[in-house]
């Protein structure tokens, strides 16, 4: 951690000025000390910039870069003492001309061999009466990505909730109209129960996913037997397997212990086993194998189901993505199960691999690093 001790009035003034700039206050900086390409940039000013979350450029009146953070060089924004982005150069001149703070979104080319861009937010202000300008550069890429994910998630949830709620509403109206027909009442009541269960399952998986994303896995971690984790996951899927006449075989050569959150692990393996059952024809077998491969635990769940096309494999862990929407409706699938699995395994430092051949079946293999608890290491 870098700590800057400030004990003079000029530096304290700089702190207040940069705080104003960083906190969106629309006031250009007016330092008492002029900075030019012929004058060394005051180290206190540079130290203050280094303490911020932003990358930076300091540009003199000739548009030459006289100080910058390392990142702006690494992304190709500066070559020698020149700003490579024409957009930023124009903004700098505009700030110098109008003597005001300007904020903008800019696209910085990734390089001569790429057509891509770095998206950055910049805040620019004069910091000297001689035309010296400071450019603060913020990387909001991850925040934007998360915001997009949240928007998509809300949109998907809204769509997914509408389907069972709409179904229940229509069935309730039909039930009211056919209340004098016992057969219709029985039929509509059963269908309403299916839709209600589907809605309940969807809400529970949304809650589970939210908890997994917010929860610190290490807080509830302990040494657990993966053998017992798999056995519990299979037991939770027993009723579903019996209903579809699917046999589940479990094999393990030895006892395997792992430091992790037992509830999350059971949830993940249970989702994989249930997924294998749902996509298997009746009177087939789902095989679950637990093995230790040096310092990695492997849990492989194999089915004899419909398989997954190669084009779908990369997307199956996305929220609400379904390979076969019709089958998902029949089995009560929400499209969140595999997303939950991916989050749980990632939280434990592991990985999940998929092998599948359409018409033959699929194998999902969970890989978990075998590390000891802290008091045993």
pLDDT at 35 over 50: no
Closest CA to 37 of 57, 63, 71, 7: 63
Q: So what's the pLDDT on residue 36?
A: 37
Q: Are residues 162 and 117 in the same domain?
A: no
State which of 124, 139, 154 marks the end of a domain.
139
Q: Are residues 97 and 42 in the same domain?
A: yes
User: How are beta strands 117-126 and 222-225 bridged, if at all?
Assistant: unpaired
Phi then psi for 208, rounded to 5 degrees? -60, -45
Residue 261 included in any domain: yes
Task: Give dist(CA 154, CA 161) in Å, integer.
Answer: 10
Please indicate whether residue 8 or residue 68 has the higher confidence score (pLDDT): 68
Q: Are residues 221 and 325 in the same domain?
A: yes
CATH of the domain at 300: 3.30.565.10
Residue 33 included in any domain: yes
pLDDT at 375 over 80: no
Please indicate whether residue 34 or residue 255 has the higher confidence score (pLDDT): 255
pLDDT at 301 over 90: yes
Q: Are residues 273 and 179 in the same domain?
A: no
Task: Give dist(CA 22, CA 33) in Å, integer.
Answer: 20
Residue 4 included in any domain: no
Q: So what's the pLDDT on residue 79?
A: 83
Residue 53 included in any domain: yes
Vertex 40: Cα angle to 35 and 45 (nearest 5): 70
3-state SS of the chain is CCCCCCCCHHHHHHHHHHHHHHCCCCCCCCCCCCCCCCCCCCHHHHHHHHHCCCEEEEECCCCEEEEECHHHHHCCCEECCEECCHHHHHHHHHHHHHCCCEEEEEEEECCCCCCCEEEEEEEEEECCCCCCEEEEEECCHHHHHHHHHHHHHHHHHHHHHHHHHHHHHHHHHHHHHCCCCHHHHHHHHHHHHHHHHHHHHHHHHHHHHHHHHHCCHHHHCEEEEHHHHHHHHHHHCHHHHHHCCCEEEEEECCCCEEEECHHHHHHHHHHHHHHHHHCCCCCCEEEEEEEEECCEEEEEEECCCCCCCHHHHCCCCCCCCCCCHHHHHHHCCCCCHHHHHHHHHHHCCCEEEEEEECCCEEEEEEEEECCCCHHHC
CA dihedral 5→7→9→13, nearest 10 degrees, is 10
pLDDT, mean of residues 231-246: 91
Residue 303 included in any domain: yes
pLDDT at 150 over 70: no
Closest CA to 55 of 106, 131, 13: 106
Q: Are residues 26 and 109 in the same domain?
A: yes
**Ramachandran quadrant class, 289 (left: phi over 0; alpha: psi -120 to 50; beta: rest):** beta
Q: Are residues 88 and 152 in the same domain?
A: no
Q: Are residues 206 and 336 in the same domain?
A: no
CATH of the domain at 37: 3.30.450.20
Q: Are residues 30 and 122 in the same domain?
A: yes
Q: Are residues 227 and 285 in the same domain?
A: yes
Q: Are residues 262 and 205 in the same domain?
A: no
Residue 343 included in any domain: yes
Q: Taking all residues of the chain, what is their mean pLDDT, rounded to a whole number? A: 75
Closest CA to 361 of 309, 303, 316, 312: 303
Q: So what's the pLDDT on residue 368?
A: 93
State which of 191, 214, 237 marks the end of a domain.
214
Number of domains forming the structure of the chain? 3
Angle between helices 141-177 and 182-214 (to 10 degrees): 160
Tokens of 199: 């809605």
Closest CA to 331 of 369, 263, 277, 260: 277
Q: Are residues 300 and 280 in the same domain?
A: yes
C-alpha distance from residue 322 to each of 250, 334, 339 (Å)? 27, 8, 11
Residue 1 included in any domain: no
Q: So what's the pLDDT on residue 367?
A: 94
Confidence of residue 33 (pLDDT cuts 50, 70, 90): very low
Strongest mean pLDDT among 5-14, 174-183, 320-329, 344-353: 344-353
Please give the residue range of the domain that contains residue 152: 141-214
State which of 163, 184, 214 marks the end of a domain.
214
Residue 3 included in any domain: no
CATH of the domain at 182: 1.10.287.130
Q: Are residues 167 and 231 in the same domain?
A: no
Q: So what's the pLDDT on residue 255?
A: 94
């Amino acid at each position: 951690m870098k700590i800057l001790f400030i004990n003079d009035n000029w530096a304290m003034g700089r702190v207040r000025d940069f705080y104003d700039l960083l906190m969106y206050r629309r006031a250009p900086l007016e330092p008492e000390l002029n900075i030019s390409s012929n004058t060394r940039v005051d180290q206190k000013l540079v130290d203050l910039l280094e303490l911020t979350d932003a990358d930076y450029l300091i540009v003199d009146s000739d548009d030459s870069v006289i100080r910058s953070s390392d990142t702006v060089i690494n992304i190709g924004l500066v070559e020698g003492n020149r700003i490579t982005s024409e957009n930023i150069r124009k903004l700098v001149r505009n700030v110098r001309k109008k003597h005001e703070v300007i904020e903008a979104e800019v696209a910085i080319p990734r390089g001569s061999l790429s057509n891509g861009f770095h998206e950055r937010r910049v805040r620019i202000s004069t910091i000297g009466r001689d035309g010296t300008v400071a450019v603060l550069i913020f990387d909001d890429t991850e925040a934007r990505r998360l915001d997009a994910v949240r928007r998509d998630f809300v949109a998907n949830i809204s769509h997914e909730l509408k389907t069972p709620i709409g179904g229940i509403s229509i069935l309730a109206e039909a039930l009211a109209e056919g209340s004098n027909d016992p057969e219709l009442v029985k039929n509509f009541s059963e269908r309403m129960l299916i839709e209600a269960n589907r809605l309940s399952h969807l809400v529970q998986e949304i809650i589970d996913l939210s908890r997994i994303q917010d929860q610190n896995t290490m807080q509830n971690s302990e040494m657990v037997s993966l053998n017992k984790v798999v056995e519990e996951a299979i037991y939770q899927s027993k009723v579903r397997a019996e209903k579809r006449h699917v046999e589940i075989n479990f094999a393990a050569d030895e006892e395997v212990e792992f430091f992790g959150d037992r509830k999350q692990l059971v949830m993940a393996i249970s989702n994989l086993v249930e997924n294998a059952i749902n996509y298997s024809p009746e009177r087939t077998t789902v095989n679950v194998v637990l093995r230790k491969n040096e310092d990695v635990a492997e849990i492989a769940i194999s089915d004899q189901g419909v398989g997954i096309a190669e084009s779908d494999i990369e997307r199956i862990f996305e929220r609400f993505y379904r390979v076969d929407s019709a089958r998902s409706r029949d089995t009560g699938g929400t499209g969140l199960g595999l997303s939950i699995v991916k989050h749980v395994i990632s939280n434990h430092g592991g990985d999940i691999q998929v092998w599948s051949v359409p018409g033959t079946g699929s194998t999902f293999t969970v890989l978990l690093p075998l590390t000891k608890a802290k008091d045993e290491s």
